[in-house]
């Protein structure tokens, strides 16, 4: 499979696998959420049957949370991943990936944890 097709599949932009907006956000780990209309569109287009009502239902019920998880921009996260953002496995992977991308920690922390992180990224946990 070529890299473009793989990315489109992993991002749920073609052949989406999820029926609910909550499941999309949980799969993605965190999603950009600056403006309500655009975040609603970005999540809904990754479901099998896009629906503004379905997004509003999951968002208004608290199943999807909009927060400043990692930096000063807004992100959407699944409620179960937000219970304690500093300690849930999925948010730790996301934060560790952000640190690796924006520093030279790759050189400093080349240990089993780093190898496990990289293996997880290759397996689609992003």
Tens digits of pLDDT across the chain (126 residues): 899 999 999 999 999 999 999 999 999 988 988 899 999 999 999 999 999 999 999 999 999 999 887 667 888 988 887 765 555 566 666 666 655 555 554 455 455 455 555 555 555 544
User: Among 100, 98, 94, 95, which Cα is nearest to 114's?
Assistant: 100
Q: Coil, strand or helix: which one is 114?
A: helix
- Can you list the positions of beta strands (E) in the chain? 31-32, 64-67, 75-78
Segment 30-59, tens digit of pLDDT: 898 889 999 999 999 999 999 999 999 999
C-beta of residue 70 within 8 angstroms of C-beta of residue 36? no
């Amino acid at each position: 499979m070529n890299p473009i097709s793989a990315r489109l599949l992993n991002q749920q932009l073609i052949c989406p696998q999820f029926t609910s907006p909550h499941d999309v956000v949980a799969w993605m780990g965190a999603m950009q959420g600056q403006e309500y209309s655009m975040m609603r569109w970005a999540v809904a287009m990754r479901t099998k049957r896009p629906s503004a009502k379905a997004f509003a239902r999951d968002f208004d019920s608290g199943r999807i949370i909009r927060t400043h998880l990692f930096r000063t921009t807004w992100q959407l996260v699944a409620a179960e991943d937000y219970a304690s953002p500093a300690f849930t496995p999925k948010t730790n992977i996301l934060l560790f990936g952000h640190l690796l991308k924006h520093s030279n920690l790759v050189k400093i922390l080349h240990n089993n944890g780093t190898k496990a992180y990289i293996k997880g990224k290759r397996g689609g946990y992003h």
